[in-house]
């Protein structure tokens, strides 16, 4: 059973209480288009259970994070991103600019992002 945080925007999206443009869903994760896209394709992939950020990844949820990365690869194939490529980013905490405290992976694609990360 997922562990929801009732004040979390992404938990509300997963439960369908806030509408979203769904891209992919399975038992453990949910993917939807970012409301403020930073690239022609900008998708967020989130675990269905509430984990605050990468800082909370440990042995108890590592398999879930691995599962999310298999979902990311599926989504990349589904969206036709594998030939040109895509970037996966997860912001953790204040200095990284994390604005929603529910673990999420941004998939960004559809433009040349160059070799510079920040
Ligand atoms: P971050 O800065 O890494 O915490 O990214 C949070 C992202 O979540 C940001 O790119 C905007 C997106 N976002 C915030 N609220 C909503 C929402 O209600 N719907 C959707 N689709 N995206 C949202």
Report the alpha-carbon distance of residue 74 to residue 97 in Å, rounded. Answer: 27
| Cβ(10) – ligand 1 distance below 6 Å | no
Quickly tell me which residue has 């604005």 as its tokens.
99
Average pLDDT value for residue range 24-48: 98
Q: How many other C-beta atoms are found inside a 10 Å radius of the C-beta of residue 104?
A: 25
**Could you tell me the pLDDT band of residue 97, with boundaries at 50, 70 and 90?**
very high
Task: Give the predicted TM-score (pTM) of the model.
Answer: 0.98
Which residues carry out catalysis? 104
Average pLDDT value for residue range 59-86: 98
Average pLDDT value for residue range 37-62: 98
Report the alpha-carbon distance of residue 14 to residue 58 in Å, rounded. Answer: 22
| Cβ(32) – ligand 1 distance below 6 Å | yes
For ligand 1, the distance from its centroid to the CA atom of residue 36, given in whole angstroms, is 7
Q: Mean pLDDT score of the chain, rounded to an integer?
A: 97
Quickly tell me which residue has 């997860």 as its tokens.
90
Report the alpha-carbon distance of residue 17 to residue 52 in Å, rounded. Answer: 19
| Cβ(34) – ligand 1 distance below 6 Å | yes
């Amino acid at each position: 059973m997922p562990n929801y945080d009732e004040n979390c925007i992404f938990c509300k999206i997963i439960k369908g209480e806030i509408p979203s443009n769904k891209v992919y869903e399975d038992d453990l994760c949910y993917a939807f288009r970012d409301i403020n896209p930073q690239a022609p394709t900008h998708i967020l992939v989130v675990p269905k259970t509430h984990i605050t950020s990468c800082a909370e990844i440990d042995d108890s949820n590592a398999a879930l994070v691995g599962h999310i990365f298999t979902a990311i690869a599926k989504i990349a194939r589904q969206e036709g991103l594998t030939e040109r490529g895509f970037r996966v980013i997860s912001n953790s905490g204040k200095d990284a600019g994390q604005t929603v405290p529910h673990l999420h992976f941004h998939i960004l694609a559809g433009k040349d992002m160059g070799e510079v990360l920040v």
